[in-house]
Structure 1
Amino acid sequence: MMTFNYSNPTNIIFGQGQITAIQHKIPASAKVLLLYGGGSIKDNGIYQQVTQALSENSVLEFSGITPNPTVEHLDKAVALAKAQSITFILAVGGGSVIDGAKYVAAAACYNGTGWDILEGKHTVDKALPIGCILTLPATGSESNTASVVSKAATQDKLAFLSPTVQPQFAVLDPDAMKTLPARQLANGIADAWVHTCEQYLTVQEGAWVQDGYAEALLKTLLRLANTFEQQDDQWRANLMWSANQALNGLIGAGVTQDWATHMIGHELTALYGVDHARSLAIIQPSLLRNQLHLKQGKLEQMGEAVFGLDAGKDLAERTIDAIEAFYHKLDIATRLTDYGNNKQAAVEAVLAKMEAHGLLAIGEHQSITLEESRTILQTAIA
């Protein structure tokens, strides 16, 4: 096990009816920029709860943040934050809204072009304080330091990390999920699944606690998929908590991590508009089969511990088959079918973006070269 330093300062406020708690977490003197998406929070009552809790604050609103938020739209919020001397950012939504809020919080404290942050030209050392109310469990962005933002003009999707954008608090009220469509819930399960796998399906290094906790999360997500029609209070609470725990830094502390599935999947999303979670489901089975010789030990461990498969020479292969069946149970495809009907052009387009972004050797062993990525894509694209 590697040496590590773990801290997660986000205050998690979990449970039904907890949105009112934000009035004790945001100073009454704060000038708040409220960020949200397409307006569904006004239909399900969340907006009303938020505005009531913020009744003592000066509040400005910025809406319309889409899945895979674009810098073109978010820069308007940055300009607003600067012009109105905003002192606190409150994100109400899923991972895209929260990721967008992190970008706004950082770019509002930077005099240059915000996209510099994503391109690594500016290291974020200051940001406005952030709080969030989670409405769609998936990314874990509500209690980590990561943000992913797209640039529509160039079809780029890039990430940045900074402790300065770690939310101060996150309200996780499972009731906020009650009106979500089945597709978004399935995406949340799949997203959390791959987040866990990226930190677990690497190498065996004796991290019993991290492995055991990752396996508990995977078994929970598998159970959620197998009981997808249940969707009662207990089901929603377990999805919300497991998605948070999958990417709050705990199961990745001191262990080797992968993230190659995300790196390739981001390009599918940027180029073809594939839902983030579905891009991961398209790439992961093909990537695991390509890297079987390096991941066999952990695949076999997962097969026995998570899926209850019997030991055998083909256990790793059967584990990948079980992972693929897990996605199909959620009605999530594991091959890309909508890419313009020119497979080779799609493969080359993704590879060109990967090369431009410096993704020449990825994965925990840096063994996925562009040629290996080509092989993975050839299998992943129908």
Structure 2
Amino acid sequence: MQFTYHNPTRLHFGRNQFGQIGREIPKDAKVLVLFGGGSIQRNGVYDQVSQALSAHQWLDFGGIEPNPSIETLDGAVKKVQEEQIDYLLAVGGGSVIDGAKYIAAAACYSGYGWDILDGSHKVRKALPVGAVLTLPATGSESNGAAVITRTATHEKRSFLSPLVQPAFAILDPTVMRSLPDRQLSNGIIDAFVHICEQYLTEPTEAVVQEGYAEVLLRNLVALARSYDHRAEDGWQENLMWTANQSLNGLIGAGVPQDWSTHAIGHELTAVFGMDHAQTLAVVLPALLEEMIINKRAKLTQMGERVFGLSGEAVAEQTIVAIEDLFRSIGAATRLNQHHISRNDVATELLPALQAHARWPLGEKRDIDLARCEAILMRAVG
């Protein structure tokens, strides 16, 4: 265990927190409010943000899509530069917040913004960002990571910079009341797999990180098992807080991390347009089956401590339990359920992975393209 941990995002959690927006953003700042497809204008969130910014000068920019595209985001970058915006407020889920992070960095860079994503430009300056979370899933509201798509080339890449980490975030669980079931299900899956990427590696002596990861996993299992109560305040509060804690840097501090499920899942989204969480639900069980020798000890630990399993072959039972968990909240766990065949994998997905993934993958860097193909063929079903 050797690490530096710092999380500067100030979180305002619970009901009636929208008023904090006006206190957090300097009164002389010119603000650009960023949002997605318009649901915030139907569920009252936009009105609450407007009221909170009544003493500020502000504009808005909507239409940021799930898996935000650089093509859309560059329109916002242009608006920031033309209007001399000096503060960004992202109102939405992880996609809108990720988009705000890109805009914050790209608006302060004279070159092509994709340079930030392909690693040829390191972010040295960025506009400040605040966030109003409307969809709990990614934890993007209190970390410095962003994932952006270039639609023209079917690429999906990420960047990480402390300069784009939100200064503050509003987490009001009541905004979840209008979310469709699919997005709530996606939120559970996304948070669950985020934890697995930081936990399902090899046993460590990081008692706090491992123990906290197990608490978060048990909570997500409980939320999935009580999915019929998803309209209740307590259920929504616990999902929003668990999703935030799953990727704020704490459980990953000083421990091995994997992220191969995400690397493969990103290409599924870029090539076939699948929801991010739906790709994770498909890839994770297949990856664990293929890599079970390396992950057996930790899978056994997870099975005993999270699912309460015992007896023989606990590691194998744990993989089944994870897949059953995803299915219980309506997620498909096989690519053929998304009408993606072995031929599609061979002709479309593997070439994209070969071109875009940072090989080799996995916490031991032992997943090459051939191993990735084996994982995906398992995932087809």
Superposed pair shares fold, TM > 0.5: yes
Letter in 1 for 2:172: D
* Structure 1 outlier segments of 4+, above 6 Å: none
Letter in 1 for 2:127: L
Give the CA deviation at 1:341.
Answer: 5.6
Counterpart secondary structure, 2:33: strand
Letter in 2 for 1:59: W
Moved more, 36-45 or 354-363: 354-363
Note the alpha carbon deviations across 1:56-94, whole angstroms, 9 max, x for none: 111111001110000000000000001111000000000
Give the CA deviation at 1:359.
Answer: 3.0
Q: 1:359 to 1:338 in 2, by over 3 A?
A: farther
What is the 5 A alignment of 1:31-46? 31-46=30-45
Partner of 1:305: 305
Whether 1:199 aligns to 2:205 is no
Give the CA deviation at 1:350.
Answer: 1.8
Report the Cα distance in structure 2 between the residues aligned to 1:354 and 1:341, rounded to whole angstroms: 16
Letter in 1 for 2:248: N
Whether 1:15 aligns to 2:9 is no
Letter in 2 for 1:365: K
Counterpart secondary structure, 1:346: helix
Report the Cα distance in structure 2 between the residues aligned to 1:184 and 1:244, rounded to whole angstroms: 16
Partner of 1:171: 170
Report the Cα distance in structure 2 between the residues aligned to 1:218 and 1:88, rounded to whole angstroms: 35
Letter in 2 for 1:240: M
Counterpart secondary structure, 2:376: helix
Letter in 2 for 1:278: Q
Report the Cα distance in structure 2 between the residues aligned to 1:214 and 1:135, rounded to whole angstroms: 24
Partner of 2:290: 290
Report sequence identity in percent: 55
Counterpart secondary structure, 1:19: coil
Note the alpha carbon deviations across 1:91-113, whole angstroms, 9 max, x for none: 00000000000000000000000
Partner of 2:112: 113
Q: Extract unaligned runs of 5+ from structure 1.
A: none
Give the CA deviation at 1:305.
Answer: 0.2
Give the CA deviation at 1:354.
Answer: 1.7
Partner of 1:69: 68
Whether 1:331 aligns to 2:330 is yes
Give the CA deviation at 1:320.
Answer: 0.3
Q: Are the equivalent residues in 2 in contact too, given 1:347–1:377 (CA < 8 A)?
A: no
Q: Are the equivalent residues in 2 in contact too, given 1:3–1:254 (CA < 8 A)?
A: yes
Note the alpha carbon deviations across 1:222-278, whole angstroms, 9 max, x for none: 011011111211100000000000000000000000000000000000000110001
Q: Are the equivalent residues in 1 in contact too, given 2:340–2:380 (CA < 8 A)?
A: no
Give the CA deviation at 1:358.
Answer: 4.1
Letter in 1 for 2:320: D
Letter in 2 for 1:17: N
Whether 1:267 aligns to 2:302 is no
Counterpart secondary structure, 1:365: coil
Give the CA deviation at 1:196.
Answer: 0.3
Counterpart secondary structure, 2:11: strand
Q: Are the equivalent residues in 2 in contact too, given 1:354–1:360 (CA < 8 A)?
A: no
Whether 1:81 aligns to 2:80 is yes
Report the Cα distance in structure 1 between the residues aligned to 2:338 and 2:328, rounded to whole angstroms: 23
Partner of 2:343: 344
Letter in 1 for 2:14: G
Give the CA deviation at 1:180.
Answer: 0.1
What is the 5 A alignment of 1:359-374? 359-374=358-373
Give the CA deviation at 1:344.
Answer: 2.0
Moved more, 119-128 or 356-365: 356-365
**Cα RMSD (Å):** 1.0
Moved more, 85-94 or 356-365: 356-365
Report the Cα distance in structure 2 between the residues aligned to 1:46 and 1:21, rounded to whole angstroms: 14
Give the CA deviation at 1:337.
Answer: 2.5
Q: Are the equivalent residues in 1 in contact too, given 2:35–2:64 (CA < 8 A)?
A: yes
Q: Are the equivalent residues in 2 in contact too, given 1:65–1:96 (CA < 8 A)?
A: yes
Give the CA deviation at 1:348.
Answer: 3.7
Partner of 2:27: 28
Report the Cα distance in structure 1 between the residues aligned to 2:219 and 2:379, rounded to whole angstroms: 27
Letter in 2 for 1:95: G
Report the Cα distance in structure 2 between the residues aligned to 1:105 and 1:176, rounded to whole angstroms: 25
Report the Cα distance in structure 1 between the residues aligned to 2:130 and 2:221, rounded to whole angstroms: 30
Give the CA deviation at 1:212.
Answer: 0.5
Report the Cα distance in structure 2 between the residues aligned to 1:357 and 1:152, rounded to whole angstroms: 14
Report the Cα distance in structure 2 between the residues aligned to 1:45 and 1:69, rounded to whole angstroms: 23
Q: 1:275 to 1:183 in 2, by over 3 A?
A: same
Counterpart secondary structure, 2:345: helix
Q: Are the equivalent residues in 2 in contact too, given 1:285–1:320 (CA < 8 A)?
A: yes
TM-score, structure 1 as length reference:
0.98
Report the Cα distance in structure 1 between the residues aligned to 2:236 and 2:264, rounded to whole angstroms: 30
Counterpart secondary structure, 1:148: strand
Q: Are the equivalent residues in 1 in contact too, given 2:220–2:239 (CA < 8 A)?
A: yes
Report the Cα distance in structure 2 between the residues aligned to 1:359 and 1:149, rounded to whole angstroms: 16
Partner of 1:229: 228
Q: How many correspondences in the alignment?
A: 380
Q: Are the equivalent residues in 2 in contact too, given 1:145–1:163 (CA < 8 A)?
A: yes
Counterpart secondary structure, 2:178: coil
Partner of 2:208: 209
Q: Relative to total residues, which structure has the larger helix share, 1 or 2?
A: 2
TM-score, structure 2 as length reference:
0.98
Q: Are the equivalent residues in 2 in contact too, given 1:304–1:311 (CA < 8 A)?
A: no
Q: Extract unaligned runs of 5+ from structure 2.
A: none
Letter in 2 for 1:331: G
Report the Cα distance in structure 2 between the residues aligned to 1:254 and 1:346, rounded to whole angstroms: 35
